[in-house]
Structure 1
Amino acid sequence: MMLINTATILGNTAVMLALWRARRAPSHYPLASLVLADLLVGLLVQPLAAMRELFVFNLNRAICSCWSTMDVLCCTASILSLCALGWERWSGITAPLSRARRGRRARVLAVLVWPVAILVALPNAFIPSPRHFHPGELEKACSVNINTGYVFFSITLSFYLPAGALVTLYGFILRALSAPPPIRAHRGRSPYHEPRGPVSSSLINNKPLQKSEITTDNNQNIELSPKGHLNIPNRANIGCTASATGKCQSHTNFILRQRRATRTIVMLMALFLICWTPYFVILPLDSLYDCVWEITWQWCTWLGYMNSVLNPLVYAAASPSVRRALHSSLTSSGSRNVDVPLTPRVRRS
């Protein structure tokens, strides 16, 4: 328990400092909300949770209500921050050029996470919880609120609805990643070479093309949509030849960065579901039937707390910008605006 508590505080503090020093990105705002929620778990929730498992003592109802409310608040803020991260990732894939607008919306979503989490957690301080004691069981200092009405209200808004939204959102993300990006059929810049043959001659002469299927010199079928977009199968083999310019490589690197960032957020979501699903299964069962053993409560609760340790490790290991800023934070004590090395393409964006 001490190891989990210490790792939660140190890991999330380090990532928070790295986010403070790194150059701003739209995904950093909901990520900062996630790190703040996990840090509050380590500072305000886990110490008392460990002491109540190890020692026998009594606390007044006000302290227990504050502790239980903070537990619900931080858990709800964490999963809502993951929802905000998922939305930002979907926006980054479907609208990669609207960086400023995505940044503004990400800030608003990161701020709105906390009022919604407070709305879910605040009733916990005023709704009494029934207590069940089994023969030979010692009374713990603070107990989890197992009022049936509040349990189903809180788990629905803080876990099941957001988790369903996350799964749906990542289904759209994977669908967007699997779809090939369209190539505009006009004189605008394209990361690929225009195919030779009847398509390129029509593009040069600016002649209108009808929706049809065209065959290039490489015997590849190209379908032209009504909006003037070319859907080219195996597009990586068309423009990415030895004579291709740097535009194709730039576009490929952009797609790879988007996929890497999306894999990171998917890992965060999967870790959250793996760590917290057992707890949110036994909580309604115990509130209805009082059938969960104490050892099961302990393992499921601390498995959920482990999520606060794993989140900063996963993101720090998978995000190059956060990793560089984290290394700079640990090796130097500069100002907030430390110059984190970026590639030329990132600087231009």
Structure 2
Amino acid sequence: MISTLTKDCVQALMTSLTSEVMDVRFLNKMHDATTTLPTPSFMDNETICGEPILSYGHVEKVLIGGVLTLLTFLTVCGNLLVVISVCFVKKLKQPSNYLIVSLAVADLSVAVVVMPFVSITDLIGGQWIFGRVFCNVFIAMDVMCCTASIMTLCVISIDRYLGITKPLTYPVRQSGKCMAKIVLFVWLLSASITLPPLFGWAQNVNDDNVCLISQDLGYTIYSTAVAFYIPMSVMLIMYYRIYRVAKVSAAKHTIAGFPKAEDEESMNCVTAVLKLQREMEECVSFSHLLRNDRKNISIFKREQKAAATLGIVVGAFAVCWLPFFLLSTVRPFICGVQCSCVPLWVERTLLWLGYANSLINPLIYAFFNRDLRTTYHNLIRCRYRNINRKLSAASMHEALKLAERPNLVL
């Protein structure tokens, strides 16, 4: 009886010990499984804030590198031509062209200081390899140069609007000192956007392989508003007002019977009147009327040209920068302030689309400015001598044509 009880107790004790051992083994397995779970993607050294690094084949890397290099080279050449043209050609040394030079310098800075480092970073997969200290300097230069370019476009739109609506008083006030102060203000305001991350308000995301502008919500709203949304709104308002002025002027010319390109009979009529004017030189009042008509036609042509130029500038600006700034605005609200959860290839594509605006700007102004276009042509063909004389001769020829032919095609 005693032996039976002893045997039962031993069996019960062994069963209990076996159960405890099984529980311990189960807990150990659970602990091992927990410790071997993959770490969150934003903590993985082989990822950038949750997004795997960019990977290219050899052919893709060569093609992308060639495109980015070509884009950088053309941006440097185009904006350098603008700076050289305005600085060394007397006819182009006008106060209003100070803004064009400021725009070209900002775009040239983007091409020289920013684009090469972004190109290298993209070609090696999106990882930042230039260190934490230079990351802050790079972000500051990137933000300042791009913002200066955008704000200069905004000021140019205001300058064009005032030149159209106040043709008699504004050119008098448009002195070199005044334009220089405006340019200085633009660059100081652009630099002010780069200061908060440098002085502790909003820290940039700066890890070993990551270099990203601060995702702080307050700083994001402030920087995007000052750098893009406010200038964009001003440009749209200025373009709308110039468009209205040009439209009203066109309506007045139509009512007054001014010649248009499609009105061949009106053009012939004006030509006949001009012949009659030459035969009747004693008719002073009639001659004075025609001179006023020529002046009005010249003003109307300038208004139409300003509206077309500013419309293309605003359109190109919106296409290039609007997608990037929309992404920059919503990204902290979606991804948080620590990193970016947006696919890296999307961010890079929109960023380079914005950089492309620095290449487009000199092309637009060269297309609509005959003097700049002529200077480009001579500089590219290495015809440095007599550029000023050629431009003066071209201006004199144009003035003679306008004096003899008021029936210009608008």
User: 1:81: how far off?
Assistant: 0.6
The alpha-carbon deviation at position 324 of structure 1 amounts to 1.4
Distance 1:17 1:309, change over 3 A: same
AA in 2 matched with 1:10: C
Contact 2:245 2:303 in 1 (8 A): no
The SS at the match of 2:391 is coil
Match of 1:235 in 2: 256
> What's the CA shift for 1:328?
2.7
How big is the alpha-carbon RMSD for the aligned residues of Structure 1 and Structure 2? 2.9
- Residue 170 of structure 1 deviates from its aligned partner by 1.5
Q: Distance in 2 between matches of 1:285 and 1:131?
A: 20
Q: Which residue of 2 aligns with 1:79?
A: 150
Gaps of 5+ in 2: 1-67, 260-265, 275-289, 336-340, 403-410
The letter of the residue matching 2:134 is I
Structure 2 SS opposite 1:180 = helix
Q: Which residue of 2 aligns with 1:201?
A: none
- Greater Cα shift, 19-28 or 159-168: 19-28
Following TM superposition, the consecutive aligned residue runs of length 4 or more in structure 1 with deviations greater than 6 angstroms are 345-348
Q: 1-side partners of 2:304 and 2:175: how far apart?
A: 19
Give the aligned partner of residue 92 of structure 1.
Answer: 163
CA contact 1:88–1:102 (8 Å) conserved in 2 = no
Q: Which residue in the other structure is 2:228 paired with?
A: 159
What residue number does 2:186 align with? 113
Residue 343 (structure 1) aligned with residue 373 (structure 2): no
C-alpha contact 1:148 1:288 (8 A) present in aligned 2:
yes
**Greater relative contact order structure (CA < 8 Å, 6+ sep):** 1
Query: Structure 1 residue 8: deviation in Å?
Result: 1.0
Counterpart in the other structure of 1:33: 102
- TM-score normalized by structure 1? 0.75
* Kept after mapping to 2: 8 A contact 1:5/1:42: yes
More deviation in 90-99 or 152-161? 90-99
From the CA coordinates, give the structure whose radius of gyration is larger.
2
1:115 Cα offset (Å): 1.0
Match of 1:283 in 2: 328
Alpha-carbon shift at residue 4 of structure 1 (Å): 1.1
Q: How has the CA–CA distance of structure 1 residues 246 and 148 changed in structure 2, closer, same or farther, with 3 Å as cutoff?
A: same
Question: Using the alignment, how far apart are the partners of 2:209 and 2:116 within structure 1?
Answer: 14
CA contact 2:135–2:206 (8 Å) conserved in 1: no
Matched, 1:315 2:365: yes
Partner of 1:102: 174
Distance 1:87 1:57, change over 3 A: closer
Question: Residue 69 of structure 2 aligns to which amino acid in structure 1?
Answer: M
Higher helix share: 2
2:354 is matched with 304
Which one-letter code corresponds to 1:102 in the other structure? Q
Percent of counterpart pairs with the same letter? 26
Would you say the 8 A contact 1:80–1:113 is kept in 2? yes
| TM-fit CA distance, 1:54 | 1.6
Distance 1:250 1:328, change over 3 A: farther
> Is the 2:204–2:215 Cα contact (8 Å) retained in structure 1?
yes
* Partner in structure 2 of residue 20 of structure 1: 87
Describe the shift of the 1:281–1:181 C-alpha distance in structure 2 as closer, same or farther (beyond 3 A).
Answer: closer
- Where 1:25 maps in the other structure, the secondary structure is coil
Change (3 A) 1:66 1:130: closer
Partner of 1:128: 203
Cα offset, 1:140, TM superposition: 3.7
Contact 2:114 2:141 in 1 (8 A): yes
Cα distance in 1 between the residues matched to 2:150 and 2:389: 30
For residues 79 and 50 of structure 1, the distance between their equivalents in structure 2, rounded to whole angstroms, comes to: 22
Q: Could you report, residue by residue, the CA deviation over 1:48-98 in whole angstroms, capped at 9, with x for unpaired residues?
A: 111111224533322111110111111111111111111111111112233
* Uncovered stretches (5+) of structure 1, i.e. residues with no partner: 133-138, 183-230
Does the CA contact (< 8 Å) of 2:107 and 2:358 recur in 1?
yes
Shift of 1:279: 0.6
Q: Does 1:144 align with 2:213?
A: yes
